[in-house]
């Protein structure tokens, strides 16, 4: 699978979470009430519809940035840590290979993404979403990372690329085609 990283450093740091949280000093176990409060403060995985909107919004912003060469919107919809680490110029450099392919992924607006792993919020509060859009002839693959900031999930890392769509099941395709019916045999006279 060919994937073009948004920004190697940001993606590596954000995907591992090493840049987002420092190891806290050892402390005493929290009381059950404090543990419950900490869990309720931790952002939850969005509902399926919100998740689809987030994925599509991110992909459309990336597509428009690649088509225009203007990465300001992609940068501004991202999490503050991402904005601090990436200028528009750095994003343009990071997406050079994807942009040079002149790949138009706008069809993701009309196709429902399929997730290959269950979305999950890791210990650093990063929501990880991995999957693909079953478009043809190229399938659009993605690995997205979001951070809850300013009251919403915002992109903090991504990797997007394409692969050849797998061939359709020939047996299923054959069953969907209307079968020719032979004329009934007539007895010879």
DSSP string for residues in 117-186: S--EE-TTSEEEEEEEE--SSEEEEEEEEEEEETTEEEEEEEEEEEEEPPPP-HHHHHHHSPPPPPPPP-
Residues spanned by the domain of 136: 4-14+44-163
pTM of the model: 0.69
- Is 19 a domain residue? no
* Spans in the chain with pLDDT lower than 50: 1-27, 36-38, 183-184
- Is 66 a domain residue? yes
Give the pLDDT confidence score for residue 65 in this predicted structure. 94
* Closest C-alpha among 3, 2, 6, 155 to residue 95: 6
| CB crowding 17-44: b at 16 or more within 10 Å, else e | beebeeeeeeeeeeeeeeeeeeeeeeee
CB 141 within 8 A of CB 132: yes
Give the pLDDT confidence score for residue 23 in this predicted structure. 28
Give the pLDDT confidence score for residue 53 in this predicted structure. 96
Give the pLDDT confidence score for residue 153 in this predicted structure. 97
Query: How many independent structural domains does the chain possess?
Result: 1
- Is 30 a domain residue? no
- Is 144 a domain residue? yes
- Is 21 a domain residue? no
Give the pLDDT confidence score for residue 93 in this predicted structure. 94
Q: Domain containing 65 — which CATH number?
A: 3.10.450.630
- Is 171 a domain residue? no
List strand residue ranges (DSSP E) for 7-108, in order: none
């Amino acid at each position: 699978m060919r994937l073009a990283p948004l920004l190697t450093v940001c993606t590596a740091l954000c995907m591992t979470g090493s840049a987002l949280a420092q190891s806290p000093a050892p402390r005493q176990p929290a009381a059950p009430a404090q543990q419950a409060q900490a869990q309720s403060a931790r952002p939850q995985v969005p509902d399926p519809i919100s998740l689809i909107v987030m994925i599509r919004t991110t992909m459309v912003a990336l597509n428009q940035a690649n088509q225009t060469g203007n990465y300001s919107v992609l940068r501004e919809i991202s999490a503050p840590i991402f904005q601090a680490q990436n200028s528009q110029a750095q994003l343009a450099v990071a997406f050079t290979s994807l942009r040079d392919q002149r790949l138009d992924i706008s069809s993701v607006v009309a196709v429902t993404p399929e997730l290959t792993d269950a979305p999950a919020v890791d210990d650093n509060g990063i929501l990880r979403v991995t999957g693909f859009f079953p478009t043809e002839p190229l399938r659009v693959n993605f690995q997205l990372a979001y951070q809850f900031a300013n009251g919403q999930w915002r992109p903090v890392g991504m990797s997007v690329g394409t692969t050849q769509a797998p061939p359709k099941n020939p047996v299923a395709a054959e069953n969907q085609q209307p079968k020719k019916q032979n004329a009934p045999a007539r007895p010879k006279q």
